[in-house]
Structure formats: C-alpha cells, structure tokens
Structure 1
Amino acid sequence: MSKRVHNPFGSLSADFPSSVVVFLVALPLCLGIALGSNAPLFSGIIAGIAGGIVIGILSGSQLSVSGPAAGLTAIVAAAIGKIPTFEAFLLAVVLSGIFQIILGYLKAGILGDYVPGAVIKAMLAAIGLILILKQLPHLVGYDADFEGDESFRQADGSNTFTGIFNALNYILPLAVVIGLISLGIQIIWDKVLVKKSKFFKMIPSPLIVVLVAVGIDQWAKANNPSLAMPAHALVSIPVADSVQGFFSFFMFPDFSYLNNFNVWSAALTIAIVASLETLLNIEAADELDPYQRVTPTNRELRAQGAGNLVSGLLGGLPVTSVIVRTSANVNSGAKSKMSTILHGIMLLLSVAFIPKILNLIPLPALAAVLIYTGFKLAKPSIFKEFYKKGFDQFVPFVITILAILLTDLLVGILIGCIVGLFFVMRSNFRSAVFVVNDENNYLFRLRKDVSFLNKPIIKRKLAHVPENSYVLIDATRADFLDRDVVEVIEDFMISAPLKNIKVELKKSVNKQQGFTIFPEPLKETA
C-alpha cells in the first residue's frame, strides 16, 4: 500500500530544500516568459508568486507547481499587441480566471482523463529533451532566445536546432566553465555525496551550483574583468530604489475596457488554452508522483482560475500548471504542496529585499540545473521501456515526442492523441473479426465492437468461401454489430444456397439491454 502524506508541515525537511530548487528554476523562467510575451518583466514575477502561493494553497495537487507558462507566450504577445493598454490586458487575465472557475464548476476537468498514458509519458520525455536542447545555448552564454521558450520556432528567427549551432559562434569561455562545473556538481552530489551522508541530502545541489557560479564570476570580475559574465548572461530582476518604487511595479486592471471585444476574446482564449495545458500537466504530475496521488481536476481548474484572478488584479501574466517546475519539484524530493507555497513566498521576499544579490546569478548555472532536470525526464531507459512494450505503444510515444519538439506542447499532444486513437482503432479493427478455416469448414468469429470499418474485410472473406462449404458465423462475443455488417451477413446467408454453402449463425444477446444483436430472426441455410 502506498504511503500517504497528509500533514504538509510534517514534511518540511523535504519540502524546504525542494522549494529552493523550484525557486531557482522559476526565477529566470518567470523573467524570460515575460520578456518573450512583450510584457513588463515584473509581471512574470507576480505570476510566479500568484502561482506558488494562491494556487499552491487552493490546489488539490501536492506536487504541481504553477506560474507563467511558455505555452501562452504567443497568445499573450498577440493579445498585448491587439489590446489598447497593458492594464486592459490585465482585465483579460482577470476574466480568464473567472472563466476557469466556471469551467471547474461545470466539471470540465474530466477532459484530461481522455489523454492516453503513452502520450503523457511522451510529453514528459519531450519536455526533458526541450530543456536540454533549449538550454544548451544559455549554457555557453548565448541568450538570443528568451529563457523558458519551448516552441520550435524561436523569437530570434531561428529554431531549436539552428539556435544551438548559432550559439557556437558566441561562446563565452567563463560561461562554459561555469556550465560544466555546475553540471559536474549536480552529478557528483546526486550520485556520490547524497549516498554517503544524509547531510548532503538536506542541501539541494542547485543551491551549491548557484553559490559556486556567483563566486567564480565575482572572482573573474576582481581579477580579470574581460572574462567576467556580461549583463545579458546574468539574472535581471527590476530593482526598486525605495519601498514606493517597489510597489510601483504592481499594476492594476482597467475595468473601463469591459466593453472591448478583444479583451473578452483574449480572456476566453487564455482560459481555454491555460485549462488544457493545466489538465495535461496535472496528469503528468500525477504520473511523476512517487506516492501515486490523484489530483481532483475540477478543483484544480477552480484553483487555477483563482490564481489568474489574483495575478491579473496585481499586474501579472496568466498562469498554468508548469511541468518544468513540477518535475524539478518532484526530482528534488518534495512531498507536499508546502514546497510550491514556499517557492512563491521566496519569489516575493527575494524580489522585495535582495534583487541586487539575485542579479549576480549567472544564467549558465541555472541552465545547467534545467539540463540536469531535463535528463531525468528523458532518460534512455524510458525509451527502452516503451520499445519493449511493443509497436502499438512505442510508435505513438515517439511520434508525440517528435510532434512536441517540432511544434509546441498542445499541438504535439493533439497529434499524439490522434496517433494513439489510430492504434486503438487499428487494434480493435484487427481483433474484431477472426477467420479460420480447415479445408471447407470456415469459422467467422465476431468480437467486441464490429463497426462499418470492418465491413470490407468481412464482405471480401465471405465472398471467397468456396462452393460446398460449411460456415459458422459466431456473434456471441460481439458487444456491437453495425447495421451495415448485419446486412452483409444477411445477404451472404440469402445467396449461400446457390453455392451449396451451409451457414450456421450463433447470435449474440445483449444482456444489459435484453435484445438480440440481429434485429430479426435469421434462419440457418442448408
């Protein structure tokens, strides 16, 4: 029986270190997604705070982490371009939250249950590969693409793969040193030190990575400034000169735009896309949960709606459940939602009190943290596992990964679901009609659901039955027979005497509804 965690305060020893890791991962992503959305940088931080604290408290998920999402950047950027002011856009975010709350009460959360398990696991592996591919340029100091971008086509005109090749022309030596040392620290920490002492398990390796990276860069600035990290390769949080200046970063929605069509259109679009992305990520979060807890999806939609409501009211971007932060949370050993809540509190306190210190953090160090997280999501063993499961599982898994890599998350998932549905139909199609013959004796066994798609194969095989044969049509195992299939069998039974074919029919009775699948009694032919 799985161990359950009920008291969130009872697992602080695991949740606090995890919250530090999530905080370090979330910080550049919040800023990067705001940059990619053409929004004020601080709006991304506000969204991260709302996603951590508000959604963390209201959500039924113990491990999911919410915040501004890469999947919404194109939608947000387009909306900001169409809507007259940013304050009017914030109104759209507030309305999207209200729409999500309504969707939660309408029980729309059930939609997430229709995504095949192979597609969810493919999504996790694809996100892992995207993290590795997208962070490689940041690892060497090339920051043309904004931090957190997950789409194939990048804002700078290149794509995921050409971005890596472009980065080779802009390598910063110190960035490479910091990146490689950061990766090495995490590997040694997890594979060696943690196994030797519980002390190392209490300290998250990404925290050590950040401290070492800052130390290396500060040493370079003091001894050889030409090697030090440039401003674009460091975290860049807006710094206020006073308390009043800090509160000026917060903006409020302009309700005078309630009659603007573009505001309502953007709100509905954000609500639908954010809800779909959340439901997918929640399924993935439950898949990652070592305690196998199940998140109530309708409650999650309501929590997400509340998060967007608060984010919009304070000047933040729309939020969703985010699998990158969630996977970092799980891999760091979080046990309850306290990790999510604490990371939101850390975001708030850090930008309020120590923004100048945070701005010392080199992005290559954080890129190394994300690359290591990505590797854990896309381990080679996962691909081997699906290969062993067979063609029907492996092909949808691989196609979903490729589709997500070459498009974006939602389009890739849709393609994966279509491919998965095709294989389900293919499996059902192949197993619905079973034909075997011994000389001139033929058995046609109809199983499960026999639809009009099976009509051609049944018609063709019946037509090839030779003269003077005996045919047994067994429909006792069929749950459903399409009327077109029934007509094919009826026509065959009528014409069978002309070829001296004897036909015996075993009918299926639907026990639940109490009727025979063949609506009219058919006589055996002799």
Structure 2
Amino acid sequence: MNAFSKQTLPGDIRGGVVSFLVAVPLCLGIALASGVPLFSGIIAGIVGGLVVGIFSRSALSISGPEAGLIVVVLAAVNSLPSFEAVLLATCLAGVLQIGFGLLKAGTVSHFFPSAVIKGMLAAIGLILIFKQLPHLVGYDADSAEGFSLFQPDGFDIVGQLRSALQQFNGAACLISLLSLGILLLWEVPSLKRFSFFRTVPAALLVVTLGILVNSYLLPADVALHGDHLVRLPVPESVGAFFSLFTLPDFGEWTNPQVYASALSIALVASLEALLAVEATDELDPLKRKTPPNRELVAQGIGNIASGLVGGMPLTSVIVRSSVSINAGGRTRVAALVHGTMLLVSVLALPTVLNQIPWAALASILLVTGYKLARPVVFRQQFEAGLNKFLPFVTTVAAILLTDLLTGILIGMVVGVFFILRETYRKAHHTQVYRVDGEERIRIRMGEYVSFLNKASVASMLKDIPDEAVVEIDSSRSTYIDSDVMHLLSHFEANARQRNIRIIRVTAEYKVLLKEPVSPEKIRS
C-alpha cells in the first residue's frame, strides 16, 4: 500500500505534518553540529522528503540530515577547502550509492539479526528520552539531537542535565507539562471513539498550544525567547532567499580528498539508510518490506540533488519515520507532505515557526522515544532467550556508550557469536535407541552443517564405540560442507576395521552399508 489512498490520506497528512514539526529543529541542529550552513540542513530535509520520497519504494521511511552523519560531514568540512567542495563530495557520494544499488549491495541489510535491529530502536528511544530532559526544563543550548549520549564536544548528557538544573526555567516546565499531558491524553484508548481525538494530531495541538502559551499567555519577562525557540533563517527578499542556495565547486574534481570524503559519506549514509529502513519496516503495522537496492538508488539520487542545490548529505532517519508512523502515516505520501511542508515553511512561515518553543518539540520526541524503548520490548527479548536478549541488550548499551554505527557493529559481533554457537550446537543430534532388541546409535545431521561444525562432528565420531550399529541420518540436511563429508567418508572407510555397522539415511534412499535394503523393508 505505497500509493495514494483515500483511506490512508488523513493519517499520512498527520504523519507528514508531525514529522515536519520535529524535522525543522533537527535539520538546523544537525547542520550546526556538522559545521555547515544552517540552511543546508533545511535543504537536505526538503530533498529527503520530496526527491527521495518520489524514488524510494519504502512505505514509511522519511529521509533528511541525520546525526549519524555528523562525524563524516565534520571530517569533510575540515579536510576540504570550502563548503562548495563538500557539496561536490555529497554529489559524488550519491553517484556511489546508485552504484551500490545497481550492484545489489543492499542485501547486506538482510545479514543483521532482528535482535540487533530492535536493540538499535530501543537505544535510539532511550537517547531521545535522555536528550529531551534538559529541554523540558529550559536548557536549549545543545540543539543537535545526536544518537550518542557523549557529544563530540565532550559535553555529555550528565553535563547538560547539571547545567539544565542550574538554569531551571519555569515557563519551559509549564509548556512541557501541558504538552506531555496532551500527548498522554491522546494515548487513552477510550478517547479514540471520539472523532476529535482521531483526526486532530496531538503533536500539532502541542506545538500550537506551546506558541499560544508562550507568546500570549505568559508575561513578556517570563516568556521563552532566543535559544529557547526554533531559529530558522528568515530571508528578507526573494534575492536573499535564493542566496541561501549554493552550487558545488566542480573545479575541485581533481582533488583526491573530495573522493575520499565522498566514499566515507556514501558508506556511512548507505549503511544508516539500510538499517533505518529495516528498523522502520519493523515498526510498520502492515509489515511491508522495503527493496534495499532500490532504496540505495533513491538515497543516491537524493544526495546528488541535495549537493547540487546546497544541501548537506542525507539518509533515512528513524526518528522522523517513527514519529510519522505514530501519528498515523501509512504510505509515502507522508514523506511528500513532510518535504512540502518544509519547503512552504521556509518560503512563507519562518517567523511563525520561530515561535515554537523547544520544550513543546522535546515533549513530542520524549513520547516518541518511550514508544521505541517501552519496557515490554525488553521483557519480550528477555523471554526469547539469551541468544536474543544478549545481542539486544549489548546493542543498546554499546550505542548508549559509543555511537550508532559502533554500537551496531558491537551488537553484530555478539549476535554472530550466538549464531555460530547455535550452528555449532545444532550441527547434529545423537540418540541411542533399540530395534528388535538391537541397540543403535542414530546421528541426525542438522539442516545446515558448515566447516565450523567439523570439530564437533570429528569428536562425536571418535567417541562411537567399536561393534556399534550407527545410523547416519542426513535426510533433513540441505547442505553439508565437503570437509564434514570427508570426515563421514573416512569414518565409513574405517568402520569395518572396528566392526561398526553403518546405516545411511538420506531424503532419497536408505541403505545399509555393504548390505542393500529392499524397498519393502524400507517401507516397513
């Protein structure tokens, strides 16, 4: 259900509007933290909604500047001679991403265990919660909502909370309490039967109420201003508006560092996009799947377009996507609404948007974070067993302590360990039973037996006593590595010397080694 539908349109509009409200400060904050012009973040948000929204086949993903790209963009800014050269690297990164998609590199996303994906979502939820706490009490100096508790500038969440408590702001607290109250009220199931609660998005009401309370109900000396409000560039003329757009410096195409920066941006943006759409598909109520190779192509087109008009690199953003889903977004129309609203806002509504208090937006993000990291998610993973819970909780802890990509890689290492352990343990199963008074040892081979199982199979065959009757059942196996097959053949070759009788069972036939068994006996 990716196409336009009258049934999904109201929810898509709500999702697009709410994600737009969240995107405005995030676009500005991430651009600020990346060392690029603030408006380049807005441009990337517009392109991510409109261009990627058109070419992507993801039903729910919304693209734009993302905090995971801050490090690589900062590195590009520091290593290249100008911002225009960074734009050229962004365009080249898009070309590389299209190449990745055409080469079918998107299938790498299928190798990430579900426990790691769920751990990534839960960690992002926790970080969203932690990083909104200073904004709720009026500390708004750090506007980049990163995916790490430890900022590149060393000013971590503990320091932010300490500063927030020292600069406690009563107006921000009042707006936060009202906003959280509305958001929680909208979650009450019994109120869903009223059309007002179904049609009016809580986030839009929160933002509107925040503006009204701060601008008209609070005294001027108490009301929030400056850093406590969204700060969007306000062009004073048509010429000033177009001056905010920048063209790449194509003269830098001979600079090797441009290509190195492009490769870094392409790799990080591609991996983040694949993980984001995988995680977004997990949140999809309709459980649709995004074609990963097509997504890489769409992201590449988006980065080329963004770089050509002065936008910073972009990728799929989990925060905006999850906010849209929570607000009712169900198709790509939500992404298109999101991009259109960003474009309209910078043209016609910058002064209105600049009245939105950070406290109201922080409340929306805090509730979104809670929905991603609900206690029930941790309980479900725990009940699924250690092979699911440990990769999940390791991913959560690693992301909290490092950054998004490093945390995912650490979680992957733990996840692969448990996969290898399960593969090792389930390579074969040994059972002793009796047939007509005769004791037999049945060795049932697993569905997939790789070279990693060679040691366990060799140890098991070595422990079989002399003069035993051994049934080797590979009827359920779809693959047995040649090294393991060599072990079995060697065991059979030496079985006569140990007076061991072997029965081979496969999906096609059953034979007693050196002694054929009739079809009638097999059926019996």
**TM norm. shorter chain > 0.5:** yes
Contact 1:145 1:155 in 2 (8 A): no
Counterpart of 1:453 in structure 2 is 452
Q: Relative to 1, partners in 2 of residues 1:480 and 1:506: Cα closer, same or farther, differing over 3 Å?
A: farther
1:61 corresponds to which residue? 58
Structure 2 contact 424–456 (Cα < 8 Å) conserved: no
Counting only pairs closer than 5 Å after superposition, residues 151-162 of structure 1 correspond to structure 2 as: 151-162=148-159
1:315 equivalent in structure 2? 310
Q: 1:96 maps to which residue? A: 93
* Distance (whole Å) between structure 2 residues aligned to residue 449 and residue 93 of structure 1: 43
Conserved 8 A contact 1:386-1:393: yes
Task: State yes or no: 1:504 paired with 2:501.
Answer: yes
Q: 1:249 aligns with which of 230, 241, 244?
A: 244
CA distance in 2, matches of 1:436, 1:344: 62
AA of the residue aligned to 1:299: R
Q: How does 1:380-399 map to 2 (within 5 A)?
A: 380-399=375-394
Q: CA deviation at 1:437?
A: 4.3
Aligned residue in 1 for 2:188: 191
Structure 2: runs of 5+ lacking an equivalent: 516-524
Alpha-carbon offset, residue 430 of structure 1: 0.9
Amino acid at match of 1:446: M
Please give the alpha-carbon distance, in whole angstroms, between the structure 1 residues aligned to 2:421 and 2:444: 18
Taking the TM superposition and a 5 Å limit, the aligned residue runs for 1:423-442 are 423-437=418-432, 442=441
Match of residue 395 from structure 2: 400
User: Aligned residue for 1:298?
Assistant: 293
Name the CA distance, whole Å, in 1 between partners of 2:462 and 2:87.
Answer: 67
**Cα contact 1:476–1:506 (8 A) shared by 2:** no
Partner SS for 1:330: helix
Matched residue, 1:146: 143
Query: For the structure 1 residues 65 and 480, does the alpha-carbon distance in structure 2 shift closer, same or farther, using more than 3 Å as the test?
Result: closer
The answer as to 2:99 corresponding to 1:112 is no
Partner of 1:217: 214
Instruction: Write out per-residue CA displacement over residues 185-227 of structure 1, whole angstroms, 9 at most, x where no aligned residue.
Output: 1111231684241122211111111122122222466x250x3
Whether the aligned pair in 1 keeps the contact of 2:474 and 2:507 (CA below 8 Å) is no
Q: From 101, 118, 123, give the equivalent of 2:120.
A: 123
1:476 aligns with: 474
- Look up the equivalent residue of 1:278 and give its one-letter code: A
- In the TM superposition, residue 138 of structure 1 has moved relative to its aligned partner by 1.8
Q: Residue 344 of structure 2 aligns with which residue?
A: 349
Distance 2:496 2:57 in 1: 66
The answer (yes or no) to whether the contact 2:127–2:149 under 8 Å persists in 1 is: no
Identity fraction in percent: 47
Secondary structure of 2:429's partner? Answer: strand
The residue aligned with 2:406 is 411
For the Cα contact (< 8 Å) 1:447–1:475, is it kept in 2? no
2:12 and 2:331 in contact (8 A); partners too:
yes
**Deviation at residue 431 of structure 1 after TM alignment:** 1.6
Query: What is the TM-score of this pair, normalised by structure 1?
Result: 0.89
Deviation, structure 1 residue 139? 1.8
Question: Which among 267, 273, 279 is matched to residue 284 of structure 1?
Answer: 279
Matched residue SS, 1:321: strand
Structure 2 SS opposite 1:168: helix
Q: 1 CA distance for matches of 2:174 and 2:380?
A: 35
Contact 2:186 2:197 in 1 (8 A): yes
1:369, distance to aligned residue in structure 2 (A): 0.3
Q: Which of 229, 235, 238 is equivalent to 1:240?
A: 235
Helix, strand or coil at the partner of 2:474: strand
SS at match of 2:139: coil
1:186/1:458 CA distance change after superposition, 3 Å = same
Cα distance change, pair 407–470 in 1 and its aligned pair in 2 (3 A): same
Aligned length: 509
CA distance in 2 between counterparts of 1:355 and 1:150 reads 27
Q: Deviations over 1:366-400 (max 9, x none)?
A: 01100111111111222222222222222222222
Could you tell me the TM-score, scaled by structure 2's length?
A: 0.89
Q: Is the 8 A contact 2:3 2:332 kept in 1?
A: no
Check whether the contact 1:109–1:298 (CA below 8 A) recurs between aligned residues.
yes
Mark the CA change 1:480 to 1:313 in structure 2 (over 3 Å): closer, same or farther: closer
Tell me if the contact between 1:8 and 1:338 (Cα under 8 Å) persists in the aligned partners.
no
Aligned to 1:370: 365
Mean CA deviation greater in 468-477 or 420-429: 468-477
User: What RMSD over aligned residues (CA atoms) do the two structures have, in Å?
Assistant: 2.7
1:42 aligns with 2:34: no
Match of 2:321 among 313, 326, 330: 326
2:177 to 180, 193, 211: 180
